[in-house]
Amino acid sequence: MNRFVDQVAVVTGAGRGIGHAIAARLAAEGARVAVISRSEVNAQRTSEELNRQRPDSARAYAVDVADGQAVADLCGRIVKEFGKVSVLVNNAGITRDRLSMRMPEADWDAVVDTNLKGAFHFAQHLQRPMMKASYGRIVNISSVSGLVGQAGQVNYAASKAGLIGLTKALARELAGRNVTVNAVAPGFIATDMTAELPENMRAQVLERIPLRRFGEPEDIAAVVAFIASPEARYITGQVITVDGGMVM
């Protein structure tokens, strides 16, 4: 399929894991992709990989998504270099897990500023070119932790629940300009983060998943590609859970 021919996609947190898979999927379907990561090395690695598969399909950018002015400057640069933005995928996220009674304020701020405020920054600065074109897709990567909570993740759960509220409010604001806004809530996905889980915890998690396996980054990328495509033109303000049945 080539659902994204002549479209420009911005993917944050695209240096590895789910973001990498999303950027690869959109590029494979014809999009030109702005690959964004906090790490310039990771952004460049992903961009080079995509360009090997399809020449001139990606460019790398490094930014701290929590830095509002830096994001504003970068968004202006991306619009200038690409000419437009059709799709925004807010995937950048971090964890700083700890029980709430022992959580330093700095850990709360770092997670909320990256996961939630970072998504707001990009949506704020890229919605204007979408509205001007009367077309756009914004997809926020939330989490099942934002739906059901998770002990030891009050900061992460709050940030991901906040993304759902952000999604629904933006969907109402932008619907009149043919810009849809949706969220995807992954469950446990096989990434660097989940690879660090102890074996006993992995076993406990698998018991809670009816499909009895972790998902793959490509499972999330496939759903994002649909939601971000012209085919999903009548879907907005929704949260799509991709979790093997974990929270059904």
pLDDT tens by residue, 143-196? 999 999 888 899 999 999 999 999 999 999 999 999 999 999 999 998 876 666
Give the model's pLDDT for residue 82: 98
All domains of the chain, ordered by start, with CATH? 8-241 (3.40.50.720)
In the chain, where do the E strands start and end? 8-11, 32-37, 58-62, 87-90, 136-141, 179-186, 239-242
Catalytic residues: 156
Rounded CA gap, 53 and 51, in Å? 5
- Residue 143 · residue 183 · CB < 8 Å: no
Using 50, 70 and 90 to split pLDDT, how confident is the model at 104? very high
Q: What's the chain's average pLDDT?
A: 95
Q: Between vectors from CA 161 to CA 99 and to CA 159, what angle results, nearest 5°?
A: 60
Residue of 11, 29, 5, 15 whose CA lies nearest to 222: 29
Phi-psi region of 110 (alpha: psi -120 to 50; beta: other; left: phi over 0): alpha
Using 50, 70 and 90 to split pLDDT, how confident is the model at 205? confident
DSSP conformation class of 38: S
Neighbours of 52 (CB within 10 A): 10
- Residue 67 · residue 43 · CB < 8 Å: no
Q: Between vectors from CA 119 to CA 117 and to CA 123, what angle results, nearest 5°?
A: 115
Q: Is the dihedral of CA 27, 32, 38, 43 positive or negative?
A: positive
Q: Look up the pTM and report it.
A: 0.95
Give the model's pLDDT for residue 1: 77
Rounded CA gap, 204 and 197, in Å? 11
For the chain, counts of helices (H) and of strands (E): 10, 7
3-class DSSP state of 60:
strand
Identity of residue 57: S
β-pairing verdict for 179-186 and 239-242: parallel
